[in-house]
Chain A
Amino acid sequence: MSSPLVLLPGDEIPSEYLPSTSSAPLRLGAGLRLLSQPHPTTKSSSTPSHVLTATQAGILSTDNKRNAVSILSSPHRRYIPTANDLVIAQIHHSSPDYFHCMITPQAPHAVLGQLSFEGATKKTRPMLKQGDLVYARVLSTGLGAGAEVELACVNPATGRAEPGGLGPLNGGMVFDVSTGMAARLMKASSSSTGEHQQEGVAGLVVLDELGKKLEKAGGFEIAIGRNGKVWVDCSNSGDAAVKATVAIGRCLTTLDQHELTAADQKKLVSRVLRELKIEV
């Protein structure tokens, strides 16, 4: 199971590739679809026979700890909303109950409830205007043609912004990357905080490296949207804020266009910082 499994749309996923260690329900990520699941009554002790097919071409990636599978798609620019994805949306207009947001520029608008923010009530809800950005989770994608994608900045069950950081994004800058790159970045950042020193998850060390180098200058905040947008804010950096932001943006876009090894990524970071004359 060490060799990566490449799937084409419609391909069935062999059951030996599915994580079978945990008893928790299997979590499906982007690009996968459940065709049939094992019948609860005929549950045997043998491995459950989920029939899963791919809806996108890409490499299968499994996460045994979270009991999740997803498709690591190739870098393309089209984003297809999937439930539970974190996205960066731009407010287009608002109506009495909803903010209408753009996840991808030319796709139909997604709706975000005026009250689906942490601690929002009728009186304290955020007043967002056209062009503002929010970091939100895809709540549901709806079924059939004309279905609306619904976003939320709060977990409806707990009333908290889970995972942290959901809500309006103020200041900073947004950079466009491919959707595959965004997925890799999220994977890299989630595993670098959780597990200890799993060097080069998905081969990405650029964020760690940038974090180390820019720590003295004040560090930066970053939010990665699965829709291929990365929001970066360095407002703590004082005078170097703009340059640091541009440096991060350039590292990410260059990385997106070229295939770089971990060593090359470190070189890239140093080069970009040197070119922009940021002291580290």
Chain B
Amino acid sequence: MNKEAPLSIAERDFILDALREDVRLDGRAADELRPLKVTFGEEYGHVKVQLGRTSLVTRISAEVTKPHDDRPFDGLFTIAMELTAMGSPAWDNGRQGDLETYVTNVLDRVIRHSNALDTESLCIVKGVSCWSVRADVHITDYDGNLIDAACMGIMAGLQHFRRPDAVVKDGQVIVYGLDERVPVALNITHKPLAVTFHSFDEGKRVILDATRKEEQAAEADVVFGLNNAGDLCFMSKFSGSPVDAMVFVNKTSVALDKVKEINGIIDKALQADLAKRAKKGMAEESRAENDR
């Protein structure tokens, strides 16, 4: 019972027929995202992303550990994502499905391997101590396009997160609490995002941000990982039927527009959240009574 329910023949045929007339079930154009909402929690690095009916929570955390022996100057950065029964009844707790392996792999390559987070800046003392940053992704509802949504969550989280300040004094590492010293933002080198397209009808129809039903009816998917500058850091055509080379060429520019659009939304949400925090901080400081 732990499998995604197959689509009925009627649904599959209809989705294809509708796409042949350039109609999508939710009334979107082929290159249109679902409404995207990015909100931040009370703590730094706590992000909630809602892309249509796909929603997830990302939590960034940091702790001090020992760096790997072969890379003494580098900190650690891991992305942990588990598809639990909370997200969809088709997923089992503690059992890794194909989707999970695939999504984790893509996220790793788009964000980690493209060096979006500068791991060298996480080093505290060479070979002795460094920061280990961890991004946990929890899916709370699933309606397709997990890769793009998770990418948005992690990137927004990394930009929002503040790690505690740490200094080295006489060979001793001192980590200051969040209330003792102003926490430090992470060093983000660029902001890559994944954009997924699905192809139908022998590659003649290509759509962006597919829902679960559309994903199931699709023949193949193509994932692009790009940043605002248009640097392509990841491209994959993992499985399914062949896709025309021109699709890659044309859709890369569409993907770039989308990455700029999404990064714009994330930036806006970040600015709003920072402004809110600054206001709250001022109010706290200007309070007449103190805790003593």
A172/B90 in contact, CB under 8 A? no
A169 to chain B minimum Cβ distance, whole angstroms, is 7
B23/A243 in contact, CB under 8 A? yes
B10/A169 in contact, CB under 8 A? yes
**Which of A90, A171, A246 is B23 in contact with, Cβ under 8 Å?**
A246
Contact with A along B1-33 (1 / 0, CB 8 A): 110111111111110011001011111000000
B89/A106 in contact, CB under 8 A? yes
Closest to B89 in A: A106
- Separation of A173 and B10 alpha carbons in the complex (Å): 6
Closest to A105 in B: B5
Interface residues of A in 212-250 (CB under 8 A from B): 231, 242-243, 245-246, 249-250
**Which of B6, B14, B90 is A106 in contact with, Cβ under 8 Å?**
B90
- Separation of A163 and B163 alpha carbons in the complex (Å): 65
Residue from B6, B11, B12, B24 whose CB has the most chain A CB atoms within 10 Å: B11
Closest to A130 in B: B6
B11/A108 in contact, CB under 8 A? no
Kindly state whether residue A83 has any CB partner on chain B within 8 Å.
Answer: no
Is chain A's interface secondary structure helix, strand, loop, or mixed overall? Answer: mixed
- Separation of A222 and B246 alpha carbons in the complex (Å): 41
Number of interface residues of B (CB under 8 A): 23
A118 to chain B minimum Cβ distance, whole angstroms, is 20
A246 with B25, Cβ < 8 A, contacts A131-B7, A133-B8 known? yes
**Could you say which interface size class chain A belongs to?**
20 to 34
**Which of A108, A131, A242, A272 is B9 in contact with, Cβ under 8 Å?**
A131
Closest to A102 in B: B5
- Separation of A243 and B5 alpha carbons in the complex (Å): 26
B10/A243 in contact, CB under 8 A? no
A174 with B11, Cβ < 8 A, contacts A106-B1, A108-B1 known? yes
- Separation of A172 and B8 alpha carbons in the complex (Å): 11
Chain B hits for A231, CB < 8 A: 10
A246/B9 in contact, CB under 8 A? no
A90 to chain B minimum Cβ distance, whole angstroms, is 5
26 A-B residue pairs with Cβ-Cβ distance under 8 Å, sorted by A, are: A90-B8, A102-B5, A105-B4, A105-B5, A105-B89, A105-B90, A106-B1, A106-B5, A129-B9, A131-B6, A131-B7, A133-B9, A170-B10, A171-B14, A173-B11, A175-B25, A242-B17, A242-B18, A242-B21, A242-B23, A245-B14, A246-B24, A250-B26, A250-B27, A253-B26, A276-B23
Besides A102-B5, A174-B11, 11 more A-B contacts (Cβ < 8 Å) are A90-B5, A105-B4, A105-B89, A131-B10, A172-B10, A173-B10, A245-B18, A246-B24, A246-B25, A249-B25, A276-B27
Chain B interface residues toward A at CB < 8 A: 1-2, 4-14, 17-18, 21, 23-27, 89-90
Chain A interface residues toward B at CB < 8 A: 90, 102, 105-108, 129-133, 169-175, 231, 242-243, 245-246, 249-250, 253, 272, 275-276
